[in-house]
Chains A and B, each alone.
Chain A
Amino acid sequence: MIKKKVKHKKSKQDVILDIIKVVFLSIITIVTIYPFWNIFIISINDATDAIRGNLHFWPRVFSLESYKNILSRQEFLNSTKVTVARTVIGTPIAVFVTTMLAYVLSRKDLVAKKFVTIIFIFTMYFGGGLVPYYMVLKNIHLLNSFWVYIFPGCVSVYNMILVKSYIEAMPDEIFEATRIDGANDLTIFFRMIIPLSKPILMTIGLFVAVGQWNAWFDAYLFTSDQGLKTMQSILVEILNQYSMGSSNSEQMSNAAAGMTVTPDSIRMAATMVATVPIILVYPFIQKYFVKGIMLGAVKS
């Protein structure tokens, strides 16, 4: 920021700029934050009352019935466990395998380095498509297995490039010295590369963890076992019931029958339950996130 020593009189253009700035940035902020608030207040409003609509800023009739309902459903609780498990198990494995690859490809003296690098980079631009992929997973018995959430995500070539450029920026001399002292590549990798790359590993760990938490398509397509469904895929099921359309009149009659929740209210509550963990960790992780994007931007 420039410190102004002399206070200039604002020109007309600058006044207009200030107005545009305030208006535009306010709109951006509202557009990104308000939808979450809107879902939130609908979710804590009484379900029958919510059918009347017009819920904008504040709940009319406060009720936590929808949350009670969703949190007492066995399938939802189980899906939460699966989501937590895939995030907690999948993230360190992916970071570890990706870092091993990044280290190997960062070595200037690697035999057939160019060939091995191209093998991996090529997969960023071309693939077999969904049907062959499905058939391969089926034949290696990954369908309806928890590992279908872990193994395919073991390596991310994009993340590998981030780690690789981070390692390449380290001075060679420190590794040379260790090698002369008799350390082999494994020792260098575990004792030096991993500790020294900690900041970038945090960043890609964040990318992977958010991806794992948000993934739904693999659970949707590759598993039919209810016990393996993830939270997001349960949410998709709820969403599909919604788009098939339970009409307002139908909901009204349910309400008349004394039901305290509606498909809509369940949908809102489930959306909130899946969103809140992200919003809670968000302030802590976002600086790593910004760092990661900056690194990626420099690379590409």
Chain B
Amino acid sequence: MKKKSNLPVHKKAMSKRLWDQRFLFLLLLPALVWVIIICYAPMTGLYMAFSNYSPSTQGYFHDLFGAPFVGMDWFNYFFENDFRLIMRNTLATSLLTLIISFPAPIIIAILLNEVRSTRVKKFVQTASYLPYFISWVIAANIFLTMLSAGGVVNDILQALHVTNKDILFFQNGKYFWGIIASANTWKGMGYSAIIYLAAIAGIDQQQYEAAEVDGANRVQKIFNITLPAMIPTICILLILAIGGIMNTGFEQQLLMQNDAILNYSDVLDTYAYRYGMRNGMYSYGTAVGLFKSVVSFILVLSANSITKKVNDQGLF
């Protein structure tokens, strides 16, 4: 590893400083081994996306650099074939998730703040982030059960005369984006609400007292004090959510999809997995994965730099 030195700033010689910090580097060693093997070694494998990779028994780097170079062929193949369908599914699922899951925790936080009884407040809050703790396997099981023919959701819809026979939610692709968006919201809303509650907790109580003296009712206080105080947090989380729009989830799709609705359920991550691992098209799967990584890397970095600006200048 190259050690960049900031030598002019320090009086001691580099070798002396390194020797002084030998125990620090000892503590760093396990994490360094980890990051090289688990994070950076696979990055070398991105070369697969530009070659015709096939694994043999002769070792990782032999296979990797022995594979014939094919340039951008895999990317072109993707753009010419399934790109539009997969991007449609990815963006549709993400946007729908954003539309449902973004406002939900804001509303929860504001309404929870209006609850007088501490016990009720605590109970509702605790309930709301319970789904965050369970695995996607269990969440998928729950959704498959609740939405099955003869399941609770169908029973409710029939009682309300929305439909008179069972809706087969997992046999019809048009429901799938909504199911994933609801599942994402269900699992994450309590978690996000905590962040907003933290923002609300930071509001100066004197503002409320002053408003009370002026005769403001609670609705007015929400719109004139609570909500404006939450806006910086809302903006930051919104920008970050938009930055993560390519990461539309993987486990939930994989667990709830089936072959009948693949045209709606397949997103970039599941597509790359299916071709790369299941179908053994290693190079193609890597290429699709690389495309996704690069786009989302750019999006996330832009989002981060925007939030930094928002943080520095303040929005108002």
Contact = CB atoms under 8 A, between A and B. Distances in A.
A271 interface: yes
Interface string B102-142: 00000110011011100000011011111101111110111
A241 interface: no
Contacts, number: 275
A125 B28 contact: no
B155 A56 contact: yes
A128 B44 contact: yes
A103 B27 contact: yes
A132 B4 contact: no
Given A116-B28, A186-B27, A53 B293 contact: no
Contacts of A103: 27
- Between A31, A34, A135, A242, the greatest number of chain B beta carbons within 10 A of the residue's beta carbon is seen for A135
In this complex, the interface size class of chain A, counting residues with CB under 8 Å from chain B, is 35 or more
A133 B285 CA distance: 12
Contacts of B208: 2
User: What 7 A-B pairs come out closest when comparing CB atoms?
Assistant: A132-B45, A128-B42, A53-B150, A129-B289, A214-B135, A101-B31, A185-B23
A232 B255 CA distance: 12
Interface in A46-67: 53-54, 56
A134 B285 CA distance: 12
B169 interface: no
B3 A127 contact: no
Given A17-B114, A101-B28, A111-B3, A216 B137 contact: yes
Nearest to B217: A11
Given A29-B123, A56-B152, A242-B144, 11 more contacts: A13-B217, A13-B219, A32-B128, A32-B130, A38-B152, A112-B4, A128-B42, A130-B272, A131-B276, A138-B55, A300-B240
A87 B28 CA distance: 24
B138 A130 contact: no
B119 to A, nearest CB: 13
A129 B220 contact: no
A32 B24 CA distance: 46
Interface string B210-241: 00100001111010000000000000100010
Nearest to A42: B145
Interface string B1-42: 011110000000010011001011111101100110111111
A50 B297 CA distance: 48
Contacts of A152: 38
B219 A132 contact: no
A112 B9 CA distance: 13
A38 B218 contact: no
A31 B186 contact: yes
A158 interface: no
A239 interface: yes
Interface stretch (A167-175, A255-263, A274-282): A274-282
Nearest to A298: B198
B86 to A, nearest CB: 15
A104 B37 CA distance: 20
Interface of B: 2-5, 14, 17-18, 21, 23-28, 30-31, 34-35, 37-46, 48, 55, 59-60, 63-64, 107-108, 111-112, 114-116, 123-124, 126-131, 133-138, 140-142, 144-146, 150-152, 155, 170, 186, 189-191, 194-195, 198, 205, 208-209, 212, 217-220, 222, 236, 240, 251, 255, 258, 272-273, 276-277, 282, 285-286, 289-290, 293, 297, 300-301
Contacts of A140: 37
A130 B108 CA distance: 36
B160 to A, nearest CB: 15
A107 B116 CA distance: 45
A282 B111 contact: no
A130 B31 contact: no
Interface stretch (A20-28, A71-79, A197-205): A20-28
Given A1-B116, A97-B34, A128 B141 contact: no
A281 to B, nearest CB: 9
Contacts of B116: 1
A67 B115 CA distance: 40
A288 interface: no
28 contacts: A13-B220, A14-B218, A29-B128, A32-B128, A32-B131, A35-B145, A53-B155, A101-B28, A103-B27, A104-B27, A110-B24, A111-B14, A128-B42, A129-B285, A129-B290, A130-B285, A131-B48, A132-B44, A136-B60, A140-B37, A151-B37, A154-B38, A214-B137, A217-B251, A236-B255, A239-B141, A242-B144, A282-B126
A184 B198 CA distance: 39
